[in-house]
Structure 1
Amino acid sequence: MNNALQAVTAILGRIRVGATVALMLVSGMMAIATPVTAQNFNFSNVSVEGNQRIETSTILTYLGFGQGEAVTAGALNDAAQRIRATGLFETVDVVPQGRTLVIRVEEFPTINRITFEGNSRVRDAELGAVVQSQPRRVYSPNQAEADTAAITQVYADQGRINATVSPRIIERSDNRVDLVFEVFEGGLTEVERISFVGNRAYGESRLRRVLETKQAGILRAVIGRDTYIADRVAFDQQVLTDFYQSRGYVDFQVQNVDVSLTRERDAYLITFNVQEGQQFEFGNVSVSSEVTDADPIDYENALRLRTGVTYSPDLIERDIARLERLAIQQGLNFVRVDPRITRNDRTLTLDVEFVLVNGPRVFVERIDIEGNNTTLDRVIRSRFDVVEGDPFNPRQIRESAERIRALGFFGDADVDAREGSSPDRVVIDVDVTEAPTGSLSFGGNFSTDNGFSLLAKFSQRNFLGRGQSLNFNFQGGKESQLLSFGFTEPRLLGRDLTFGLNASYQSTDNQNALYDTTTGRFSPRIGFPVSENGRVVLYYAYDYTDITDVSTKSTFIVADAALGGIATNSLGYNYSYDTRRTGLNPNAGVLFRFGQEFGVGDATYIETTAEITAQTLVFSEEVTLRATLEGGYLSYSDGDSRITDRYFLSSRTMRGFQPGGIGPRDAATDDALGGNAFAVARLEAEFPLGLPEEYGISGGLFLDYGSVWDVGNGANATNTLYNDFTPRTVAGVSLFWDTPIGPLRFNYTEPLDVQANDETKNFDVTISTDF
């Protein structure tokens, strides 16, 4: 009985619990189904507290609602966020108090001044240029952090990746602060090694010379290109690609560049992983036409490419430009040349078919130029072959962009084309950044020929923004003084005509105490191209020479001085032919110069000079071979040459001799007389010495063979030594060193075949010049 009663009681309990749970579920569902009414506020007054500099009215503009409007809690929160977003306040609180809205703010302080501490490698002005925080502006922690990152990047660009910057504020009165950037510069992180993987045709030293990035060496303090810059390495990848493709390696790829830090984090290791592929040559070269009025035969005759030449994209581009220019000359606008290349893997050749096609009929609407604060628009426009209204040719625009950059007036120059007022119109945008083009320098100069002298020089390559060059030069030393002036207008009358004017005055004792000379020259000139690689310069010259203070018994020099001052007028020309950068072989080139000067006045003469130089790179372009033949001849029909007119071979023309140490000499006094003729052949080789490439040191060998002869009337075997062609031969070794002051060349010479009265020297230092 008791068990039955307990069971009934348990069942009733379960029923009560279930009813309670059911009641709770129903209540919850009703609560969910019933919408909650949002709380609304209505303020008749707004109070702003804590603002000192910022006007109350300014703060109220960010609320987004006015007095008396119904406002939700969400709208109040949005208003607070808008006030915080101004960056003017450190804290913002929006508090409803009955019918009054209270806005409590705490303003950021004002920056009193900005200073830098701990920086010695970078000047305050350089750091200040990247800082966006400014005195008398509101201090912003976010901006201070951004400025910290910008300063750190300045140091990273200089190779100091371990530099740290900490912003700190010093509180001043009237809610002002000093913003101090504390800098720990750290050590210099240089590029310790640049290596290559996968290169077979060219050695690492040759490839490193191509790159803009350099390894750190003994000149690390002044080179500035031995720090790691990611953009520079990306540029180097393209430079490597261009280098290989211009030498026929059409499949060349830079697969990746591995950049790593040493364990001490004080140097970078850069490895270029490359795939060279095979070298290709040009196979069959032909022209076809899809333009009815264009005869392919005419265009084939204009081609310069030939079968068997090493493939280069530059050579194709040059022939395309030639063919498109020919089309314009024939009155065929909008003709484009489409190069179609057929690859022959068995023969490693590339057949090129230049196809003449009709391009789109698009015209140049206008040329817009921006950024040229100094340079005149016409200087930039002169680099374009097109004007408004001409047919648009993308290739011509690219070439114009290269010519603008080649001016050297701009740090950056971008040329882009965009659609104009209609689809058949194009606007060309030119955006340039001016760069310094002038210099004023004072210093000293030393040469083994002329000794030490003081220098003062002013030069301006973009005079008054007109693209003209202007220079003044003064050089004064114990043995000579020189004052010169030069002016050049590169685009006379807006055409490819160069006008120049040179004037000089010089006094010298000819590096000895035998006599003093005074010379002056005034010469205007005009130059113009006569072919793709040839150029002619025509000039007039007025010359005056005088010989004074003769302290020798040489009858030749005494007779020359007795004539007094001699003035002549002359007309002349110079022709030059240069294939160093436009020839078919990127590793070889030829430079040829020939000129004549026809003089009248106190003397009548013809002076003829010529020079030809050829250069080639061999042994994977590691060794440079160069050969030069140079000569000159003075022929007088009225009067005779004087010692100031005749040739004296300097150490640049023939090495191994003192000034005036070679050539005809007075038999009685042994004084050098110079000659009316000279001829010199120079052979030389330049090669690496196995030293680290970053040192900039290489070696060379040379052999010079030549002579100067023919004093002129009155000279014979009795009173003159070596008046006939008497060749000399010298050999030597050279040391080339690329230094911050310029490339220096140290020559050590050994005479092989010289005459008894010659004055030789075994060592000299010169500024090395590129071919």
Structure 2
Amino acid sequence: MGFLRWTGLLVVAVIFLGLATGSGVAQAQDGGRIASISVQGTQRIEAETVKSYLTIAEGDNYDSDRVNRSLKALFNTGLFADVSIRREGTELVVRVVENPIINRIAFEGNRRIKDEQLQTEVQLRPRTVYTRTKAQADVKRVLELYRRSGRFAATVEPKIIQLEQNRVDLVFEISEGQPTFVRRISFVGNQQYDASRLGEVLQTKEERWYRFLSSDDTYDPDRVTYDRELLRRFYLKRGFADFRVASAVAELTPNREGFFLTYTVEEGERYKFGKSLINAALKDLKVEDLQPLVVSEEGDWYNADQVEDIVQKLTDAVGTKGYAFVDIRPQVNRNRETRIVDVTYDIQEGPRVFVERIDIVGNVRTLDKVVRREFRLVEGDAFNSAKLRRSKQRLRDINFFEKVEVTNTPSENAPDRTVIKVEVEEKSTGELTFGVGWSSQVGPMMEAVLRERNLLGRGQDIRLGGMLGLRRSSLDLSFTEPYFLDRDVAAGFDLFAIDRKLQQQSSYNSSSIGGDLRIGYQLTDNMRQDWRYMLKRDEVKGITTLSPYVLEQLGTSVTSSVMQTLTYDRRDSRIEPTEGYYMRGSTEFAGLGGDVHLLRGTIQGGHYWPLAEKVVLSLSGAGTYVYGLSERVRITDRVYAGGDNLRGFASGGVSPRDKNTGDAIGGIWMATGSAQVRFPIGLPEEFGVLGEAFTDFGTVGETDVANVAGVEQSSSMRASVGVGVSWKSPMGPVSIDLGFPIMKETFDKKEMFKFNLGTRF
């Protein structure tokens, strides 16, 4: 027992002795003064630069913790691939391996995405320090770019090629892989609209063979997010105020070559508008003056887009009354039992915030002033959210940018200031197109157009076009400056040369050569004024008839004229309108020099109504009167009906005619009209194919000749009915019409089949 006690005491003593010895050794290792610091391995970087990152200096006592912090500091600079620090007596040795400098960056294997686009995506640049971490980050960016274009099978491997003087070439080896298509799109929870109708709403489409010119059938997570918003807008516009997209799930197919998309929606009940009121808290603001702007009617289906439009109109109207700071918020009160939505437009005085500055980023080629002039706000203005939204829409409408993002953030300098940031992504604005086609009026043709819509980044539009056809050839050059003298005035000129073969219509040929100067400006958001001065030389030649009414026109004439046009347009789209109306009136006076003296007046208009989803009814009409000033109107200035403005009749088929030869000699007044219903015919929407049913009607009045005894003419009404198909093809617009005259004169010329392909008239 005594032996065991003494043994335990001895073990305890040894342990304490060891601890004391270890403590002494540790103190000995951390202690001691550092007499000098030497740096080894540097090539481009000065030794003193390395020392500046150390947290320990010459003359300090050695401290392992400070040495560790020095190691971390040197690594964090990104200048070194490897760093080691050791102690040799009283000297501290720092050895570094410098990261190489990038000589150049190259991409190999990329076909779908150009080098220029990849270079803007990666962060590494020539003459910067290469690090593996930065290279891997660039790999992720390139992969993300490919995924956004629907190629999830793409791989990217960075390779470095060692060069002298510690330089490297960085090569990204890319295997693009096959595109990852969307194999199927499904919807869960939809009761009011079937899957095919909702599929038309989405920008993402299912894979089909005919979508080879589009990337909409490849999977893009950003596009799926956008599609969720499209679905929400679709339902809210149709009265489903409780609608929401519960989830949008993308699943890889078992072979990992495609995706299944599933949207789970909660439609909710459909609501109607109830009472729409205005609550104005601003002094001297009369509600009755604003009430006509609230166009939603009680009993109509609720429409969130219409509510937003009303907010913008109210904001503009209140702003014109001198209230610079206004905040209009629609208070939506939903009654789920009656399915009625009451909307109160609460007009309050907004915070007094001014625009400090407008920052523009992303415009590489487009000048800043081209972006700024589309803004309804400038630095120093009172901030207005409605004007900001309108500015964003105007930037999108000029069609120079792929993406437009406009945001505002509080200023760091003052609480009553805001900074507007405009982020754009430019798109190609140059066009070089070639086309072939055939038209009932022109026959076979070839056309080439060279156009730049954003010349030198200044927003100017220049176009050079030429067409060679069997019965018509032309060459034209046009230039437009949309902001002449930095004002909201569009100015430009046109030069043209046109040769027409009118043998089938009137047994003669004609040519025109000339040009014009034009200027136009907006009077209001919906009203525009345009002016034009034109000088041209017309020649009638190649006469192959004995008609005295045509023979007397042989020769040349010079027209010097000025024209004004006033347009009032309330259509929702000028290209493919679905609702709204427009009116246009123009007058032309010829006689400012030249040998043609006349007055011409033209009025036209149209109205559009949506009858059902993508079904549009349109009514349109036009009238023209030409009056010769102390002279007869020449055959080239008279009016003719038929062809495009009166289907079912040949071009110039409705016109006064020579009784003996049947040649059309034209009238001095004309009136035409059309009623048409345009509708889908069941093909996918991206085909751009629509059907139409129409009835056209019109007449041409008396001619202006010396002896009307030999003329067949009648101002009786002509009419036709028919059907047609239009297609927005890659080669240009295509239209096929079958028209059947139901009211006509015996001397009119019919043309039941009309076909246009690949050009514009």
Structure 1: which amino acid aligns with 2:301?
T
- The 2-side partners of 1:358 and 1:84 are apart by 55
Residues 1:616 and 2:607 aligned together: no
Q: Is the 8 A contact 1:248 1:280 kept in 2?
A: yes
Is 1:518 aligned to 2:518, yes or no? Answer: no
Distance 1:321 1:726, change over 3 A: closer
Equivalent residue for 1:558, pick from 520, 542, 551: 551
Q: What is the deviation of 1:661?
A: 4.6
Structure 1 residue 445 displacement after superposition:
4.5
Q: 1:590 aligns with which of 564, 581, 584?
A: 581
SS at 1:316 equivalent: helix
Separation in 2, partners of 1:205, 1:677: 49
Give me the whole-angstrom Cα distance separating, in 1, the residues matched to 2:39 and 2:730.
64
Deviation, 1:684, is: 4.0
Counterpart AA for 1:641 = V
- Counterparts in 2 of 1:54 and 1:220: CA distance versus 1, 3 Å: farther
CA–CA separation in structure 1 for the residues paired with 2:747 and 2:137: 76
- Output the amino acid matched with 1:99: T
Shift of 1:712: 0.4
Deviations 1:645-681 (A, max 9, x none): 2334564334455544554443333334344444444
CA gap of 1:366–1:100, structure 2 versus 1, over 3 A, is: closer
What secondary structure is seen at the aligned counterpart in 1 of 2:62? strand
How far has the Cα of 1:161 moved from its partner?
0.8
Deviation at 1:253, TM superposition (A): 1.0
- Which residue of 2 is the match for residue 639 of structure 1? 631
Which of 733, 742, 749 lines up with 2:738 in the alignment?
Answer: 749
How many Å separate the matches in 2 of 1:553 and 1:763?
30
- Per mean C-alpha deviation after superposition, the further-off stretch among 17-26 and 66-75 is 17-26
Superposed, which structure 2 residues align to 1:163-182 within 5 Å? Answer: 163-170=154-161, 178-182=169-173
Identify which of 230, 233, 255 aligns with 1:239.
Answer: 230
Closer/same/farther in 2, CA of residues 355 and 60 from structure 1, 3 Å limit = closer
Q: Secondary structure at the match of 2:553?
A: helix
Residues 1:575 and 2:567 aligned together: yes
The gaps in structure 2 that reach 5 residues or longer are: none
Question: Are the counterparts in 2 of residues 283 and 352 from structure 1 also a CA contact under 8 Å?
Answer: yes
User: In the alignment, which residue of structure 2 is the partner of 1:8?
Assistant: none
Q: 1:670 aligns with which of 662, 673, 695?
A: 662
Q: Which residue of 1 aligns with 2:183?
A: 192
Q: 1:665 to 1:403 in 2, by over 3 A?
A: same
Matched, 1:450 2:439: no
Match of 1:259 in 2: 250
Match of 1:414 in 2: 406
For residues 333-482 of structure 1, the aligned pairs below 5 Å read: 333-365=324-356, 367=358, 379-387=370-378, 389-410=380-401, 411-419=403-411, 421-423=413-415, 425-433=416-424, 435=426, 438-439=429-430, 441=432, 443-448=434-439, 449-453=441-445, 455=447, 457-462=449-454, 467-477=459-469, 479-482=471-474
CA, structure 1 residues 667+163, in 2 after alignment: closer, same or farther (shift >3 Å)? same
C-alpha distance in 1 between matches for 2:543 and 2:721: 32
The answer to whether structure 1 residue 604 and structure 2 residue 593 are counterparts is no
Length-normalised TM-score, structure 2: 0.85
Between Structure 1 and Structure 2, how many residues are aligned?
749
Q: Does structure 1 conserve the Cα–Cα contact (< 8 Å) formed by 2:357 and 2:419?
A: yes
Work out the CA distance in 2 between the residues paired with 1:701 and 1:291.
Answer: 51
Work out whether residues 641 and 700 of structure 2, in 8 Å CA contact, stay in contact via their aligned partners in 1.
no
8 Å contact kept, 1:593–1:612? no
Measure, in 1, the Cα distance between the counterparts of 2:420 and 2:23. 64
SS in 2 for 1:565: strand
CA distance in 2, matches of 1:433, 1:602: 50
State the distance in 1 between where 2:354 and 2:614 align: 48
How big is each residue's C-alpha offset from its partner over 1:532-554, in whole Å with a ceiling of 9 and x where there is no partner?
Answer: 64444455545543312322222
Deviations, residues 716-762 of structure 1 (Å, cap 9, x unaligned): 997445644362424234153x44444x3341525354768625253
Quote the offset at 1:616 in angstroms: 1.2
* Residue of 188, 194, 202 corresponding to 1:211: 202
2:275–2:343 Cα contact (<8 Å) kept: yes
2:239 corresponds to which residue? 248
TM-score computed with the length of structure 1 as normaliser? 0.84
Cα offset, 1:250, TM superposition: 1.7
Shift of 1:242: 2.0
2:218 is the counterpart of 1:227:
yes
> Which amino acid is 2:550 matched to?
I
Indicate if the aligned counterparts of 1:401 and 1:415 stay in contact, CA closer than 8 A.
Answer: no
Aligned to 2:209, what secondary structure does the other structure show?
Answer: coil
Structure 2: distance between partners of 1:138 and 1:322? 55
**Matched position secondary structure for 1:556:** helix
The alpha-carbon distance between structure 1 residues 308 and 502, as it changes in their structure 2 partners (threshold 3 A), is farther
Are 1:183 and 2:174 counterparts? yes
Q: Using the alignment, how far apart are the partners of 1:288 and 1:193 within structure 2?
A: 48
- 1:488-534: CA deviations, max 9, x gaps? 45456776555554453423223769323232455445545566644
Instruction: Give 1 or 2 for the bigger CA radius of gyration.
Output: 1
Distance 1:242 1:442 in 2: 36
Cα separation, partners in 2 of 1:301 and 1:159, compared to 1, 3 Å:
closer
Query: Residues of 2 paired with 1:81 and 1:332: CA distance?
Result: 59
- Contact 2:124–2:130, Cα closer than 8 Å, also in 1: yes
What is the DSSP-based 3-state SS (H/G/I as helix, E as strand, rest coil) of the residue aligned with 1:222? coil
